[in-house]
């Protein structure tokens, strides 16, 4: 057996060579060392191989851990228009609320959107589409959307928002302990009718006739009208219910009402009044008809005065209920929330165009004055 040639053999190897030269039996200590080194190397490689197998086996577990925060699905449905800048603000408020709670679209949550474009009749079809996507929770914005959602499912969790009266709508019988699969946030407070009438008399004391504009297809109008009717006698005003379904009815009804003097207008929230708000604001200004609107964005777009809830704030709060349901809470354990944040907004530019000199006390009470 021939040993490998080494340029600088170790001492033991040189000793073995010397023994061979004098004819003595070699000890082969180098061969034994080599065997031990090979064995040690094999053991090391065996251990590395086992560790590698363990790491490989752990990788799927790590991946599963990363995927444990799996994609959740939210259905967002509203009777309002997708292209409406205000609706876009509300969608953004809801998404921001979710994001603040750790939900990011495309990472751990997916939101399917459906918009009715002001057509309440489109809601059942849109809800059927969403149900086929198997969402974990439904955000139903406005009464038509919430009603359609409730009709589609009695098990899937529903959070409603921008609904005046959940009891009258038949969603719940107890606000503090809603039963079933639906809860949410209302935009109605029973004293609001009186507040609207007071603001009207403050800005136009001569008004003794008030038209209340509403959408007959939206059942929420009844709750608002009742509060106005209850307060009307104390303000000595005559009420004229004004149902409108489209642009033509808005034009014709306002023109007819404004043909007599000392009139005012209260616009109730609905998909129709929201969709055609630009037309309503323009006709009211043309006819010098003082008008009270339900939300700030009506005034930001040229309306005279609004008194109502802060809608984006309401949608941010709705995100907290969606979050709690996604984390395991049941709608029945989440009480229906009444609005707490109202804002009075005045457009002084519009007031000047009307020729109104608004009382300083009214302007001082405003949360926002647009000039």
Q: In CATH, what number does 72-189+313-333 get?
A: 3.40.50.2300
pLDDT at 3 over 60: no
Model confidence pLDDT, tens digit, residues 179-191: 899 999 999 887 8
Sheet with 263-267: list strands edge to edge.
Answer: 238-243, 209-214, 263-267, 291-293, 305-309, 342-347, 368-370
| Contact call for residues 196 and 292 (beta carbons, < 8 A) | yes
| Contact call for residues 344 and 305 (beta carbons, < 8 A) | yes
Question: What is the model's pLDDT at position 99?
Answer: 98
- Mean pLDDT of the chain, nearest integer: 85
Model confidence pLDDT, tens digit, residues 212-237: 999 998 888 888 999 999 999 999 99
Beta strand 342-347 with 305-309: parallel, antiparallel or unpaired?
antiparallel
3-class secondary structure, 138: strand
Count, residues in the chain: 371
Model confidence pLDDT, tens digit, residues 76-135: 999 999 999 999 999 999 999 999 999 999 999 999 999 999 888 999 999 999 999 999
- The three-point CA angle 210-193-269 to 5° equals 85
| Contact call for residues 73 and 133 (beta carbons, < 8 A) | yes
Given pLDDT bands bounded at 50, 70 and 90, which one contains residue 69?
Answer: low
And the tokens for 350?
């519009």
Neighbour tally for 273: CB within 10 Å: 24
Q: Is there a shared CATH topology between the 72-189+313-333 domain and the 192-309+342-370 domain?
A: yes
- Compare 249 and 41 and report the one with higher pLDDT: 249
Domain parsing of the chain, residue ranges? 11-67, 72-189+313-333, 192-309+342-370
- Compare 216 and 26 and report the one with higher pLDDT: 216
Helix, strand, coil fractions of the chain, as percent rounded to 5: 50, 20, 35
Model confidence pLDDT, tens digit, residues 292-322: 999 999 999 999 999 999 999 999 999 999 9
3-class secondary structure, 214: strand
Q: In CATH, what number does 192-309+342-370 get?
A: 3.40.50.2300
């Amino acid at each position: 057996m021939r040993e490998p040639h080494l340029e600088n053999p170790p001492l033991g190897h040189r000793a073995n060579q010397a023994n061979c030269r004098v004819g003595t039996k070699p000890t082969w200590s180098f061969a034994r060392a080599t065997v031990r080194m090979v064995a040690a190397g094999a053991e090391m490689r065996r251990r590395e191989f086992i560790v590698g197998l363990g790491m490989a086996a752990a990788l799927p577990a790590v991946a599963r851990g990363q995927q444990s925060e799996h994609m959740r699905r939210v259905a967002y449905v509203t009777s309002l228009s997708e292209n409406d800048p205000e609706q876009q603000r509300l969608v953004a408020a809801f998404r921001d609320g979710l994001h603040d709670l750790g939900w990011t679209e495309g990472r751990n949550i997916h939101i399917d959107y459906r918009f009715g474009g002001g057509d309440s009749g489109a809601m059942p079809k849109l809800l059927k589409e969403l149900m086929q996507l198997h969402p974990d929770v439904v955000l139903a914005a406005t009464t038509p959307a919430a009603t359609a959602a409730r009709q589609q499912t009695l098990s899937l969790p529903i959070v409603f928002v921008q609904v005046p009266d959940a009891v009258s709508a038949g969603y719940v019988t107890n606000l503090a302990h809603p039963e079933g699969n639906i809860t949410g946030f209302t935009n109605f407070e029973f004293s609001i009718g009186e507040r609207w009438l007071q603001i009207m008399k403050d800005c136009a004391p001569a008004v003794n006739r008030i038209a209340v504009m509403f959408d007959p297809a939206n059942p929420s109008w009844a709750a608002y009208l009742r509060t106005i009717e209850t307060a009307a006698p104390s303000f000595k005003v005559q009420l004229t219910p004004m149902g409108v379904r489209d642009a033509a009815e808005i034009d014709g009804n306002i023109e007819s009402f404004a043909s007599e003097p000392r009139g005012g207008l209260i616009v109730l929230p609905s998909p129709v009044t929201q969709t055609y708000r630009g037309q309503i604001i323009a006709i009211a200004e043309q006819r010098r008809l003082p008008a009270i609107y339900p939300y700030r964005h009506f005034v930001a777009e040229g309306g005279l005065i609004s008194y109502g809830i802060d809608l984006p704030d309401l949608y941010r709060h709705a995100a907290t209920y969606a979050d709690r349901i996604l984390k395991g809470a049941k709608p029945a354990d989440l009480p229906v929330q009444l609005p707490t944040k109202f804002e009075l907004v005045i457009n002084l530019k519009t007031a000047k165009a009307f020729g109104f000199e608004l009382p300083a006390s009214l302007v001082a009470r405003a949360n926002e004055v647009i000039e």
